[in-house]
A = this chain, B = another copy of it.
């Protein structure tokens, strides 16, 4: 299994509270850290959760509300103070890039690393790709332009069956072909089907992040069939009208998205500061979608499970 771990650094909403920090999470995929949103206090929470600054090279900002990005100046400065090398890419809407570039140019003149700005747009697009994963944006439905992020592992390689390979005398240089699913043809012309020489690859994991958004068909379609869905659940049932008015979701809305999109697991967060206890929100969501988990600061989820 390759590492695919979700760390919740903040799952509160706009108004500060002592219960939750503003939005921030970090995906650890094969020891590369991908931050999603960066509310105030993100850098401190990274320390608290022992997430290594040196492993962070990509930050994805869903939209330009302060509770999703006011942790950037502090975090980006700290990376420079710590002498981070290489680059950090900030995937962000254009106006956010302008704002934070101007701020960092003034406040952080001695950058030890290259700060790159990658302009994203509120539409469906692959915005990042490496050997193991792709990251795709998709539009959310909020008061201002906002995107969700879909992190999807690429199909993984099949596992070699060492005994079978030895028995059929497959040469070493052919192993990668086997991992990719090819059959083996012996020097005598005999075809050994791949299924006799390998076992199934580990499943490719997918994770979608949706905050902030109201209940939307478009979002349901975008996250169809993902393994894990993080969806905002700012309010409970009693605030359903307010949720719609403010382009936010209730816990029940989040669960509806999870159910209608056929995801495997739902995590809810972005809780309004009116709730001291988020358990009622969990119960409301579970009425619609039982496999729901409450986010909380410090939560680490192994998404392979």
Interface residues of A (CB under 8 A from B): 14-18, 21-22, 40-41, 43-44, 47-48, 64-67, 70-71, 73-74, 77-78, 81-82, 95, 99, 102-103, 106-108
In the bound complex, do residue A15 and residue B103 qualify as a contact, i.e. CB atoms below 8 Å apart?
Answer: no
| Nearest opposing residue in chain B for A18, CB measure | B47
Q: Are B70 and A77 in contact (CB under 8 A)?
A: yes
Q: How far is the CA of A44 from the CA of B40 in the complex (A)?
A: 9
> A74 CB to closest chain B CB, in angstroms?
4
Our pick among B16, B48, B82, B95 for the contact of A74 (Cβ within 8 Å) is B16
Contacts A40-B40, A67-B77, A99-B107 known; 9 new A-B pairs at CB < 8 A: A15-B78, A41-B41, A64-B106, A65-B107, A66-B77, A66-B107, A70-B74, A70-B77, A99-B106
The reply to whether A17 and B47 contact each other, CB–CB distance below 8 Å, is yes
9 A/B residue pairs, CB under 8 Å, sorted by A: A14-B77, A40-B43, A40-B71, A40-B73, A64-B107, A65-B107, A70-B74, A95-B106, A102-B102
User: In the assembly, what is the distance between CA of A203 and CA of B79, in Å?
Assistant: 47
- A47 cross-chain contacts in B, Cβ below 8 A: 16-18
Q: Which residues of B contact A77 (CB under 8 A)?
A: 14, 66-67, 70
Give the copy number.
2
Chain B residue nearest in CB terms to A76: B66
* Chain B residue nearest in CB terms to A74: B40
Q: Tell me if A103 and B103 are in contact (CB < 8 A).
A: yes
Give A94 Cβ to nearest chain B Cβ, in Å: 12
Q: How far is the CA of A291 from the CA of B64 in the complex (A)?
A: 48
**Which residues of B have CB within 8 Å of A18?**
44, 47-48
A102 to B77, CA, bound (A): 19
CA distance A82 to B274 in the complex (A): 13
Q: Which residue of B lies closest to A21 (CB)?
A: B44
Docked Cα-Cα span, A220 to B155, in Å, equals 68
Q: For residue A43, give the distance in angstroms from its CB to the closest CB of chain B.
A: 5
Complex Cα–Cα for A103 and B40 (A) = 15
**Contact of A16 with B99 in the complex, beta carbons under 8 Å:** no
Q: Which residues of B contact A106 (CB under 8 A)?
A: 64, 95, 99
A15 to B44, CA, bound (A): 10
Considering the complex, give the chain B residue whose CB is closest to the CB of A96.
B106
Q: Is the CB of B73 within 8 A of A66?
A: yes
A17 to B99, CA, bound (A): 27
In the complex, what distance in Å separates the CA atom of A67 from the CA atom of B103?
14
Residues of B within 8 Å of A40, CB to CB, are 40-41, 43-44, 71, 73-74
Contacts of A103 in B (CB 8 A): 99, 103
Chain B minimum-CB-distance residue to A108 = B66
Q: Which of B15, B22, B82, B107 meets A15, CB within 8 Å?
A: B82
